[in-house]
Structures are given as structure tokens and as C-alpha cells.
Amino acid sequence: MHDDIAEILVTEEEIRAKITELGEQITRDYQDKNLQLLGILKGAVPFIGDLARAINLPLEIDYMAISSYGNTTQSSGVVRILKDLESPLEQKHVLIVEDIVDSGLTLHYLTDVLRQRKPRSLRICTLLDKGRERVKAQFVVGYGLDYAQRYRNLPYIGVLKPTVYLEYLENPQGQHKGLAE
């Protein structure tokens, strides 16, 4: 698994430090507010778990699943809700917790849908943003982020070697390093 990574982009220590900082900021911003963390399955699972523990406030956690890429590295443009929330959002201050924003299409669609449910406020907390220099035009995996459902359990965020997905695109049925076992 580690052999498929070209470069470590964000180390475990850097992730931990950033989450501590985010937790403190969210704790300040949501004092006396009814905070609802909304995790986007599956990529945001490790992040929301660590983030929730870094927030020193009462809060609720719920999840939505939306379709994104399938087994490719390009956004399909088609977004569907696969699993919806369990309770209404009225009276809640909703903070969407997402792993990565690329084109922004997924979150654009999602915020449109959620706004119709009339939350008190709606904000986004994303771990990575492809508009930023560090992650630009690279496909990254680890700490929840996947390629073809693999690599989510890497403790750091790394750049996937292009050979891994090129090999996969050429022969999706075949056996691949990192995807076969």
C-alpha cells in the first residue's frame, strides 16, 4: 500500500495539529449554538471523528452519502444522494465536514439541497482544497481519501503514483498492485 505513494503531502503530525487548531476555532465560533456536524461519507469519516473530539461543545453528528467519482479520478458531474440525514435541520447550525473540494460541484449541489431545509446557518469545513497550491492537480489518498475504495486507512495524506490509476483504467477487471489483494 505505501509503495503506491509517490510523496507524502500531509503527515500525521500536520493533520493532528491542523485539527486541534480547527477544533479550537469551531469551539469559539459555535459557543451557545446548536451545532450539527454533517459528515460526507465515506471520505470524511476519520476527519469528522478526530475533529469532533477536538471541539469542546455539545454537538450532534449525522452523515450523508452522495455519489461522486466511481472508480475514476475525474468528477462525473452527476451527484446523487445515496443516504440522507436522519433528522430535520431547522434550528440547527450546520457544519458540513468534507474530505476534499476539487471542482466544488459536489458541495455546490449539496449546499443547494440543504439550504432548502432551512438550517439556522450552513458552513463548510474541508480538510483539503484543490484550489490551494499544495494539492493542485494531484490525486491524493489516505486519511479517508480513496482511490477505487482503497487507501482510506493510510494515516497520512499522500500523492498516488499515476501508474496505479493508469494501470487500473487500462484494465479495471485485472489484478493491480495495491488494488488486487
Q: What are phi and psi of 8, to 5 degrees?
A: -85, 125
Residue 20 or 67 with smaller CB distance to ligand IMP: 67
**What x/- string results for residues 21 through 50 when contact with Mg ion is judged by CB under 5 A?**
----------------------x-------
Closest residue by Cα to residue 100 from 136, 64, 53: 136
Residue 8 or 45 with smaller CB distance to Mg ion: 45
CB under 8 Å to 154, separation ≥6 — which residues? Answer: 1, 2, 5, 141, 142, 143
110 binds, options ligand IMP, Mg ion, none, Cβ within 5 to 8 A by partner type: none
Residue 102 bears catalytic tag: yes
- The CA–CA distances, whole Å, from 68 to 48, 55, 98, 142 equal 19, 28, 13, 17
Residue 91 CB, nearest approach to ligand IMP (Å): 27
Residue 177 CB, nearest approach to ligand IMP (Å): 18
Residue with cell 459528515: 39
Q: Find how far residue 64's CA is from the centre of its chain.
A: 12
Q: Quote the CA–CA distance of 180 and 75 in Å, as a whole number.
A: 24
Q: Is 144 in the site for Mg ion (CB under 5 A)?
A: no
Site residues (CB under 6 A) for ligand IMP, limited to 123-152: 139-141, 145
Q: Which residues are annotated as catalytic?
A: 102
Q: Which stretches of the chain bind Mg ion, using CB under 5 A? A: 43
Q: Which stretches of the chain bind ligand IMP, using CB under 6 A? A: 43, 68-69, 75, 98-106, 139-141, 145
